[in-house]
Structure 1
Amino acid sequence: MQPLNHSKLVSAITNVFLHSLLLGLLYACGGNSEQAGNQMETPEIPVLEVKSMSASTHRDIPATLEGKVNIEIRPQVDGYLEKIYIDEGAFVTKGQPLFQINEAPYREQLHTAEASLLAAKASVTKAKLEVDRLTPLVQNKVVSEIQLQSAQAAYEAAKANEAQAQAMVSSARINLGYTHITAPVSGYIGRIPYKTGSLVGRSEPQSLTVLSDVNEMYAYFSMSEAEFLQFKERFPGNTIQEKIKHLPPVQLVLSDNSLFPQPGKIETLEGQFNKTMGSISFRASFPNPGGLLRSGNTGKVRLPNLYNTAMVIPQEATFELQDQVLVFTVTDSNKVVSRPVQIADQSGNYYLVGNGIKAGEQIVFAGHNRLRDGALIKPQRVSLDSLLQANPL
């Protein structure tokens, strides 16, 4: 046998070393893969305990606003608009002059009526003198009683004419007063479509202006029939009026999504449903001391829903499947089981659960996509209180 040369010996030793190193690496990788597999079989999943607590939510309903007093100012006599004392948007006080209609025709009517009244009074005096003259003559049987009765009838007719003339004077005086239009209440003037010199009258379809008293505002909003039935069940009271008295204050959300600073109160609702819309209207009142709100504004009435006890869970702790909202509950053996829950309401990032889970149960907080029914987990406790402190209801 020929001796092995030096180069071949080095090559053989190198091959043995590399082979041993490769086996070591394969063994080490196999061990780590087995450990990773064990970790995936029991993943660490955050879970939290369901708690029952008091909670409040709200619902925003579109509303239209009107002043408590919203009066159309209309002329009650016909004539040319002689003066306009105010401007659009101005604040006026009760009794302040607004418009002046040409009064000359109505002043002449008053003078004519007063003259007719004077003539009627003279006729009464004349008829009375005739009665007084005939009375002793009849008593002395100088003239017949028929003449006295005729004089008395004429006297009564003269008094009736006087009363009629007096009524004409009063009517003419009233019409003259109608030419001077004043503010019936304090408030803000709306648009004025007429200008000085315009012919106005009772038959005109358009009013002179609209006067709004906005110290108190009415917000009108509607509920569907289903919402109204839920509303009736939510608050105590045997009648609707009793339920309205127990309603908490409401807020007004303005068009820029800011909150009006004054709280309001629901006062009343319509007596029947709108057949076309299938809804019923409510009215809430809001004090408006600064005059920020005006008739014609829009906004949303924010209705609070108060719950004495509710199961509050974060939305992240749920998942949806076939139009159902589900959670993974954790059993005593740390296995997860999916369960549908009924959502009663929502507030921010939280659900208020009506049915499906109970206080004290453990549910998976995150990582639902990694789980299946019956999967074993290593629970990592998450405090619901800490979540509520970071992100309140």
Structure 2
Amino acid sequence: MKKKYFISVILLSISLLSCKKETAQTAPPVMSYKVVEIGTSNTTLLAEYPASLEGITDIDIRAKVDGYIEKIYVQEGQEVKKGQLLFKLETQTATQEAGAAKAKVAAAQVEVNRLIPLVERNIISDVQLETAKANLASARSTYQSIVARINYATIKSPVNGIVGNLPLRLGSYVSSQTVEPLTRISDVSTIYAYFSVNEKEQLDIMMNAEGKSFQEKINKMEAVNLVLSNGMSYEQKGKIETFSGQANSQTGSFNVRARFANGNKLLRSGGSGTIQIPTNLEDVIIVPQNATLELQDKRIALVVDKNNKVQAVPIVVRAIPGGKFFVVDSGLNLNDKILVEGVGIVTEGTLIKPEVVDFNTIINPTKK
């Protein structure tokens, strides 16, 4: 009896050892993942706004008198100076009228000259002389009006600038009522970039600017960047000069104008670009974008707790230009450890072996 009991104890012990060994073999191993410890850094945020470009002046050139285009002195895109000839309208008829009007002036002057001595000798009354003088003045006025029409037929540039499109050709009939202008002259020595910001953005911009008064804040604002339509940054920095006095009643936005020097005439009226307004931030929490997850309408970071288990934490972020990092406004604390490896694979509650890496190696992976 004792022998059977002893054998049963041995078999039970063997069975327990076997089960324990099997359990140890099937338990998943604790994996090692890279984590970074949260600290603070300095960065610059760039708020971006689509913008339209215009020169200092964009002047439509129109005919003041009726006539056919006789000469075109410029080409599209040509740079011109103030007073330079642009167009000449046909003036043959006006020139003939001017000749006849000039002859009438001469005849009226002869009549006045003939009557003056007669009035002085009291041969005729002053009324006849005054009538003759009125006729002379009328003749001169008619002649001067015709001369002005002839002068208006020679069209000159009112400003220094660049010639726009030339929609009309030689022989086209134009008048002061013609809807389409002859061309447009744009002074692009300086370019204005026009864009809009909503009320919240306007408040954010102005509250982050130095200065007491509104205008002082504008004067002390950081220079802005202009990204051109080809994705390249314009070489010159710009300066915000004005905000509209009130918000647009329909859109709730404020119109803003920034000024850019354009000495090489690279920028032209009618162009487009993107304005970047920088905001310098100090002692803020920065995390890699790929260390976060987007779940529905929330941004999530995976924090490793004191027991080395992964916890999902909602965070509020702002994107840093370049698409690689976020500024975290809330959700994380200094010295928190967040997962930067295995994000999207490791599930909440997973036990890991954290491998702490220097955050600087995440920002600048090429530096050692």
| Secondary structure class of the residue paired with 1:170 | helix
CA deviation profile, 1:255-294 (whole Å, cap 9, x unmatched): 2212222222222233444444443322222222333322
Q: Is the 8 A contact 2:108 2:139 kept in 1?
A: yes
Q: Which residue of 1 aligns with 2:167?
A: 193
Q: Which residue of 2 aligns with 1:71?
A: 59
| Secondary structure class of the residue paired with 2:216 | helix
Matches within 5 A, 1:95-174: 95-122=83-110, 125=113, 129=117, 132-134=120-122, 151=126, 162-174=136-148
Q: CA RMSD in A?
A: 3.4
Look up the equivalent residue of 1:342 and give its one-letter code.
Answer: V
Q: Is the 8 A contact 2:304 2:310 kept in 1?
A: yes
Q: How has the CA–CA distance of structure 1 residues 182 and 379 changed in structure 2, closer, same or farther, with 3 Å as cutoff?
A: same
For residue 312 of structure 1, report the CA deviation from its aligned partner.
0.7
Q: Which residue of 1 aligns with 2:348?
A: 372
Instruction: State which of 320, 341, 344 in structure 1 corresponds to 2:315.
Output: 341
Q: Which residue of 2 aligns with 1:224?
A: 198
**Pairing 1:80–2:68 present:** yes
Q: Which residue of 2 aligns with 1:37?
A: 27
**Pairing 1:280–2:270 present:** no
For residue 254 of structure 1, report the CA deviation from its aligned partner.
2.1
| Secondary structure class of the residue paired with 1:353 | strand
* More deviation, 357-366/179-188: 357-366
CA distance in 1, matches of 2:158, 2:238: 26
Q: How has the CA–CA distance of structure 1 residues 130 and 332 changed in structure 2, closer, same or farther, with 3 Å as cutoff?
A: farther
| Secondary structure class of the residue paired with 2:320 | strand
Q: Which residue of 1 aligns with 2:9?
A: none
Q: How does the TM-score come out when normalised to structure 2?
A: 0.81
Q: How has the CA–CA distance of structure 1 residues 102 and 61 changed in structure 2, closer, same or farther, with 3 Å as cutoff?
A: same
**Pairing 1:203–2:177 present:** yes
Q: How has the CA–CA distance of structure 1 residues 109 and 366 changed in structure 2, closer, same or farther, with 3 Å as cutoff?
A: same
For residue 35 of structure 1, report the CA deviation from its aligned partner.
6.8
For residue 72 of structure 1, report the CA deviation from its aligned partner.
1.3
For residue 208 of structure 1, report the CA deviation from its aligned partner.
1.1
| Secondary structure class of the residue paired with 1:390 | coil
| Secondary structure class of the residue paired with 1:370 | coil
Q: Which residue of 1 aligns with 2:10?
A: none
For residue 128 of structure 1, report the CA deviation from its aligned partner.
5.1
More helix by share: 1
For residue 78 of structure 1, report the CA deviation from its aligned partner.
0.6
CA distance in 2, matches of 1:243, 1:154: 73
| Secondary structure class of the residue paired with 2:40 | strand
CA distance in 2, matches of 1:36, 1:336: 22
Question: Structure 2, unaligned stretches of length 5 or more?
Answer: 1-13
Q: Is the 8 A contact 2:44 2:320 kept in 1?
A: no
CA distance in 1, matches of 2:192, 2:18: 79
Question: Structure 1, unaligned stretches of length 5 or more?
Answer: 1-22, 138-146
* Number of aligned residue pairs: 352
**Pairing 1:381–2:356 present:** yes
Q: Which residue of 2 aligns with 1:390?
A: 365
CA distance in 1, matches of 2:105, 2:214: 59
CA deviation profile, 1:214-252 (whole Å, cap 9, x unmatched): 222222222233433333333234444333222222222
CA distance in 1, matches of 2:264, 2:366: 34
| Secondary structure class of the residue paired with 1:228 | helix
Q: How has the CA–CA distance of structure 1 residues 351 and 158 changed in structure 2, closer, same or farther, with 3 Å as cutoff?
A: same
Q: Which residue of 1 aligns with 2:301?
A: 327
Look up the equivalent residue of 2:184 and give its one-letter code.
Answer: V
CA distance in 2, matches of 1:279, 1:391: 43
**Pairing 1:351–2:341 present:** no
CA distance in 2, matches of 1:221, 1:272: 15
Q: Which residue of 2 aligns with 1:314?
A: 288
CA distance in 2, matches of 1:202, 1:312: 62
Look up the equivalent residue of 2:27 and give its one-letter code.
Answer: G
CA distance in 2, matches of 1:371, 1:252: 43
Q: Which residue of 2 aligns with 1:54?
A: 42
CA distance in 1, matches of 2:296, 2:69: 70
For residue 110 of structure 1, report the CA deviation from its aligned partner.
3.3
Greater Rg over alpha carbons, structure: 1
